[in-house]
Amino acid sequence: MLMKPVAAVILVAAMLAAQPSFEVASIKPSDPDTQLKVDFAAGGRLIVTHATLRFLIKIAYDISDDQITGGPGWINSTRFDVQGKPPNATGSNPETHLRLQRLLADRFQLEMRKESKPMPIFALTVAKGGPKMKQDSSPGDSELKTGDGRGVLTATRVGMPALAGFLNEGQTGRPVTDMTGLQGKFDFRLEWTPDSSLGGAPAAPVDPGGISIFTALQQQLGLRLDARTGASDYFVVTRAELPSAN
């Protein structure tokens, strides 16, 4: 029997009042000659260039493109540069996501409704032969660095939920849920050929002979993406306004 979507009673924006915020933040129109780039820098700082509001929502809430609907048309086309610095330049990456959620609510007047429905997903699991990543228990923040759309991901002290969150961001075309069962954090490097049809157009020419992210995960990290159907949250944008000048 088909399940009906269940709407959240409270708007997402209404739950942000108690969340941490950036001490200093800027949002500016993006130079059309720049490229999409996301840097979760040390100390909880955030630097994003050439991003749409839709993309900012994706990284703020660790969701895929398929999990966002509604809103004015400009959220898919108008691009911004965003920078945020937390108090005393401290904070972990999860806190950075929360600060970005608060920033979007404050500056874009973003309001969303969260619902849940059955939809196709990918389960991130361990491939036959086991993981091929180096476990890292050293102190310090987690760091995920991308290669400007060239299909390169370098990770330092990163857990599997964070990797699943990255894969949500237009890399696979479906929501990704961590089902690896792997605890702790890892160091790894992942290289693949981006698929521009999934919403993340590469900044560099695509290599037609390159490997997909599905193959790269299995060969390089010992992980795999299993297609499944499961209940997944999605967000309905009910309000969004162009931000005022800084």
Q: What is the pLDDT of residues 52-65, one digit of tens each?
A: 999 999 989 888 78
Given a cut of 90, whether residue 44 has pLDDT beyond it is no
Average pLDDT (80-102) is 82
Q: What is the pLDDT of residue 203?
A: 43
pLDDT of amino acid 202: 43
Beta-bridge mates of residue 143? 156
* C-beta neighbour count of 158 within 10 angstroms: 22
Mean pLDDT of 63-70: 85
Res 111 pLDDT > 80? yes
pLDDT reported for residue 7: 44
The highest-confidence range among 38-42, 168-172, 179-183, by mean pLDDT, is: 179-183
Task: State the pLDDT at residue 224.
Answer: 96
Burial of 1 (0-12, 13-18, 19+ CB in 10 A): exposed
* Amino acid 129: pLDDT: 93
Q: What is the pLDDT of residues 178-193, one digit of tens each?
A: 999 999 999 999 999 9
Look at residue 9 in the predicted model and tell me its pLDDT. Answer: 37
133 pLDDT higher than 60: yes
> Residue 17: its pLDDT value, please?
59
Q: Given a cut of 80, is residue 201 above it in pLDDT?
A: no
pLDDT computed for residue 106 by the predictor: 92
pLDDT at 180: 96
Look at 67-76, 134-143, 216-225 and tell me which has the smallest mean pLDDT.
134-143
CB 72 within 8 A of CB 20: no
Residue 102 pLDDT greater than 70, yes or no: yes
Q: In this prediction, what percent of the chain has a pLDDT beyond 70?
A: 81
Least confident segment among 26-40, 79-93, 114-128 = 79-93
What secondary structure, in 3-state letters, does the chain show? CCCCCEECCCCHHHHCCCCCCCCEEEEEECCCCCCCEEEECHHHCEEEEEEEHHHHHHHHHCCCHHHEEECCHHHHCCEEEEEEECHHHCCCHHHHHHHHHHHHHHHCCCEEEEEEEEEEEEEEEECCCCCCCEECCCCCCCEEEECCCCCEEEEEEECHHHHHHHHHCCCCCCCEEECCCCCCCEEEEEECCCCHHHCCCCCCCCCCCCCCHHHHHHHHHCEEEEEEEEEEEEEEEEECCCCCCC
The average pLDDT across 123-151 equals: 86
Report the chain's mean pLDDT, rounded to a whole number.
83
